[in-house]
C-alpha cells in the first residue's frame, strides 16, 4: 500500500495515513497546513470510504488532505487514460496548476465552459498534453491543451512569479500551443520517437500561453535527449575532447561517475530512483550542468542548463 505522513520540523511524526495501493506516482504540494496530491490511479481507489473508479487505462487524480490527515475532497479526470505529471500552487492567487497527459479522449467541465478533446494516434502513441488550473476547493478553472502532430510531449509546471507558470519537457513531432482565441505557436522537433528536443512554454492568467521556446538544439551546448518511452538517456556534449560525467542527487551526493569519455553516450538504465538530479560535464574547455528530473512514470527531462566557460 501507499501512505502519507506529516512530521514536525524536528523530524517527529505527527500522523501517518494509509492510502490506496492503486494510487500511482503522486506529486505533492503544500499551502499552509494543507497538502495537495496529484497523479494517477488504476482500477478503483478508496478515499476515506468514498470509492472512485478509473478509466479503462487509468485516470488522473487529485486530492486534498488537511492538517489532521483527513481527506477533504478527491477529484478524478479521464475517459480512456489520463494522468497528472506535476502540481504547483500559486499562493498569491490561491490557485493550483497541474500538468498531465491523456490519450484518445478527454471531457472536462471548467468555470469557462465544457470541453471535449481528442488525441489522434501516431507511431503507436496517442498522448496529448494539458495544463489545468484549479482552485483550492477542487473546481477546475481553466484548461489549455497542447496538441501534438506526428508526435508526443510530456512536461512539468514550475512557478515563476506573479502567477506566471512555465512548462518544460521533452517532445517530438510538432507541439501546437493555443495562445488565445486567434493565435497559435507551433514548435517543431525531431520526427519519430527516437530522439527528443526540449521545450518551455510560459502561461499567464487563465492558462493563456504568453511565450514558447524550443531548447537543447543550439550547437556548442550540452544536448540531453530523454526518451520517455523507454527510459533511455542520451548525452551529447558536442565537444571533440575527452570529458568526465558525474550525476548528483538532490543533496549533492555523487550517484554516478564516468571518466575519459568521448562523443555521444547512451544510457539505457542508470538505476536512479525518482527525483531531481544534476549532470556535471567537465572538460578542459568548459563545465556544463543541467538539472534533470526522473519521473517514475516516464523518465527525465531537462529543466534548466547552466554553462561556465
Residue ranges of domains in the chain, CATH in brackets: 2-215 (no CATH), 223-308 (2.60.40.3080)
- Tell me the C-alpha to C-alpha distance, in Å, between residue 94 and each of 6, 252, 300: 22, 33, 29
Q: From CA 299, how far away is CA 274, in angstroms rounded?
A: 9
**pLDDT exceeds 50 at position 123:** no
Burial of 266 (0-12, 13-18, 19+ CB in 10 A): exposed
**pLDDT exceeds 60 at position 122:** no
What are 165's three cell numbers? 507558470
What are 220's three cell numbers? 556548442
Q: From CA 139, how far away is CA 133, in angstroms rounded?
A: 9
Q: What is the mean pLDDT of residues 89-118?
A: 86
Q: What is the mean pLDDT of residues 288-307?
A: 48
Which range among 127-131, 219-223, 285-289 shows the weakest confidence by mean pLDDT?
A: 219-223
Q: From CA 199, how far away is CA 229, in angstroms rounded?
A: 17
CA atoms within 13 Å, Cβ hemisphere of 55? 20
Q: Which residue has the cell 550525476?
A: 247
Q: Residue 229's pLDDT is what?
A: 47
Number of residues that make up the chain: 309
User: Which long-range contacts (C-beta less than 8 Å, at least 24 apart) are formed by 290-297?
Assistant: 290/222, 290/224, 292/224, 292/226, 293/156, 295/25, 295/85, 295/156, 296/24, 296/25, 297/24, 297/25, 297/40, 297/83, 297/85
Torsion angle, alpha carbons of 171, 174, 180, 182, to 10: 180
Q: What is the mean pLDDT of residues 18-31?
A: 85
Q: What is the mean pLDDT of residues 93-101?
A: 86
Q: Residue 216's pLDDT is what?
A: 45
What are 7's three cell numbers? 512530521
- 270: enclosing H helix or E strand: none
Amino acid at each position: 500500500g501507499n501512505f502519507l505522513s506529516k512530521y514536525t520540523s524536528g523530524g517527529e511524526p505527527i500522523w501517518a495515513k494509509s492510502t490506496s495501493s492503486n494510487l500511482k506516482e503522486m506529486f505533492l504540494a503544500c499551502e499552509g497546513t494543507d497538502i495537495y496530491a496529484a497523479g494517477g490511479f488504476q482500477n478503483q481507489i478508496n478515499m476515506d470510504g468514498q470509492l472512485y473508479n478509473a478509466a479503462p487505462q487509468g485516470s488522473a487524480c487529485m486530492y486534498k488532505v488537511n492538517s489532521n490527515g483527513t481527506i477533504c475532497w478527491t477529484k478524478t479526470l479521464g475517459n480512456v487514460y489520463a494522468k497528472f505529471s506535476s502540481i504547483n500552487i500559486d499562493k498569491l492567487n490561491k490557485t493550483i496548476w497541474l500538468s498531465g497527459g491523456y490519450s484518445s479522449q478527454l471531457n472536462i467541465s471548467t468555470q469557462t465552459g465544457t470541453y471535449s478533446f481528442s488525441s489522434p494516434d501516431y507511431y503507436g502513441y496517442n498522448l496529448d498534453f494539458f495544463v489545468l488550473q484549479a482552485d483550492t476547493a477542487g473546481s477546475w478553472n481553466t484548461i489549455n491543451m497542447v496538441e501534438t502532430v506526428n508526435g508526443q510531449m510530456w512536461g512539468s509546471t514550475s512557478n515563476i512569479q506573479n502567477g506566471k507558470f512555465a512548462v518544460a519537457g521533452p517532445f517530438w513531432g510538432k507541439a501546437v500551443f493555443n495562445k488565445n482565441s486567434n493565435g497559435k505557436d507551433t514548435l517543431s522537433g525531431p520526427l519519430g520517437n527516437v530522439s527528443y528536443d526540449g521545450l518551455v512554454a510560459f502561461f499567464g492568467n487563465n492558462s493563456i500561453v504568453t511565450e514558447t521556446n524550443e531548447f537543447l538544439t543550439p550547437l556548442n551546448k550540452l544536448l540531453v535527449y530523454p526518451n520517455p518511452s523507454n527510459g533511455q538517456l542520451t548525452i551529447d556534449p558536442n565537444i571533440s575532447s575527452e570529458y568526465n560525467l558525474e550525476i548528483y542527487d538532490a543533496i549533492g551526493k555523487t550517484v554516478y561517475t564516468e571518466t575519459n569519455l568521448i562523443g555521444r553516450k547512451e544510457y539505457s538504465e542508470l538505476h536512479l530512483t525518482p527525483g531531481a538530479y544534476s549532470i556535471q560535464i567537465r572538460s578542459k574547455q568548459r563545465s556544463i550542468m543541467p538539472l534533470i528530473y526522473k519521473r517514475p512514470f516516464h523518465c527525465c527531462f531537462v529543466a534548466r542548463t547552466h554553462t561556465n566557460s
